[in-house]
Copies of this chain bind each other. A is one copy, B any other.
Amino acid sequence: MKVRREDRPGESFPGPVEEGSAGPGRPTIKAVAAAAGVSTATVSQAVNGTGRISEATRRRVLAAAAELGWSPSASATALRRARTRTIALVVRRPTDVLGVDPHFSELITGLEGELAPRGYGLLLHLVPGLAEESALYERLVAEGRIDGAVLTEARSDDPRPGLLRRLGLPAVLLGSPERGGPVPGVGLGQQGAGVREAVAHLLALGHRRIAYVAGPAELVHTGARRSAFEQALAEAGLRPAAVRHTDFTEEAAVAVTEELLALPDRPTALVFPNDSMAVCGMGAAQRAGLRVPMDVSVVGYDNLPLGRWLHPRLSSVDQQVQRVGAAAALTLLARCGEDVPTALLEGRPRLVVRESTGPAPAAP
């Protein structure tokens, strides 16, 4: 199919929109001032609540503004105040054929919930790699397009906090438990607790050969979770059946699962670093003729909505990404000089037990 444009008889939306076709254009502060019989300065002060304006005049101005449907121009305000009321979220996508991790959908939902009511916008960008991400921040800052940025997936040696600090751009970092870095970290910090709970659950079900599928080694949370996993097992006097690092792709999930299930001493439970991969792993296991959870148990991470509806329903660690997003937004807004309540992120990651985990199979 071709995008309409040629071979159409009754073309009704020609080329670019002609300027001024919408009448006299949008009203400016001048029009409002004239309508209210005051100066533009008064309008500005009335709307912003600054300066000394009588209640009567203020109402008159507000009425005039509403009447004309006027809102201050974002560009003009941004220029004058050097604040754009825009926050950037840059998503690095592993490969460019796949879409964005569903994880981000949740995060965005959480962010938007706090940003929108305060008149802030979310500027979304997708980049292939870390180098492009840094270059993008430089450009966005150089152009003065944003007031702050949300950094996701902290890495062990992450160049971004330092960069943004140098650029003077407020930022928050997700996925890092570290304190005192160049930018504040938010949530996703007690990842270990979630993993520990998952391990405890599996141990209680009688599992002894538990394998762990980890994310890319360069991510901070990968290490945190991995050591939590190993430690939790160690406390029970066990060692991991296996630990494999992956690049977070579905392909890798399938490949690793197949490999783990072919091990001479097959693990009875698999712990995955996110739900997408867990789903893939579950599929791979089933395809290999194993039943979940009778032959092998599977645990995911993130508790995506979809997991509730699969068969079997996916047991997963809920880390409340939405709330983390909200907290990140609040923290960032505070750093942008906005007057917001302190971000409270009560609770920690919790395991949600569903159907993909069950008693360990009797020893063969």
Chain A positions within 8 Å of B, measured between CB atoms, are 1-6, 8, 10-13, 15-17, 21-22, 26, 69-76, 78-79, 82, 84, 86, 93, 96, 98-102, 104-106, 108-109, 112-113, 116, 121-126, 138-139, 141-145, 166-170, 179-187, 189-190, 250, 253-254, 276, 279-280, 282-284, 286-287, 304-306, 308-311, 313, 322, 327, 330-331, 334-337, 342-348
Contacts and interface: CB of A to CB of B under 8 A. Distances in A.
Contact of A2 (B113, B185, B250, B346): B346
27 contacts: A1-B187, A1-B189, A1-B347, A2-B345, A3-B330, A3-B331, A3-B343, A3-B345, A4-B179, A4-B184, A4-B186, A13-B181, A13-B182, A13-B183, A16-B334, A22-B167, A26-B141, A69-B142, A74-B84, A78-B78, A99-B304, A108-B126, A112-B125, A121-B145, A122-B124, A279-B310, A287-B311
Contacts of A310: 279, 283, 310
Interface residues of A, dominant DSSP: loop
B344 A74 contact: no
A9 to B, nearest CB: 9
Given A121-B123, A287-B311, 4 more contacts: A3-B342, A16-B170, A99-B105, A102-B105
B99 A8 contact: no
B108 A100 contact: yes
A93 B69 contact: no
A181 B12 contact: yes
A124 B109 contact: no
Nearest to A166: B22
Contacts of A182: 12-13
A187 B3 contact: yes
Contacts of A337: 16
A139 to B, nearest CB: 6
Nearest to A11: B180
B79 A75 contact: yes
A185 B348 CA distance: 46
A2 to B, nearest CB: 6
Nearest to A322: B99
